[in-house]
Amino acid sequence: MDTTRAEEIINSTNMINVNYHGIPVYIQTVNSNSETATVFPLDEMNNEQEVDVDGLFETGP
């Protein structure tokens, strides 16, 4: 995924499923300069992480 798409997902009114290396995550913020995103796993909302956006993938509905 690229930073533009990650930002589109954040701003979307629809729920768009995203995985980071197979783990379902919620994208909180995107940093275009470093091409990273702050995410947390859906089953561990307190486990916030900064990850490379190229590890994020959209999944089906």
Range of the domain at 19: 3-58
AA letter at 37: A
* pTM of the complete model: 0.89
**pLDDT (tens digit per residue) in 4-61:** 999 999 999 999 999 999 999 999 999 999 999 999 999 999 999 999 999 999 997 6
pLDDT of residue 61: 65
* pLDDT of the residue at 57: 97
Cα angle value 52/54/58 (rounded, 5°): 115
- Let me know how many helices (H) and strands (E) the chain has, helices first: 1, 5
Q: State how many domains the chain has.
A: 1
22-31 CB contacts, 8 Å cutoff, 24+ apart: 24/59, 25/56, 27/56, 30/3, 30/6, 31/3
Q: Which residue has the tokens 């796993």?
A: 41
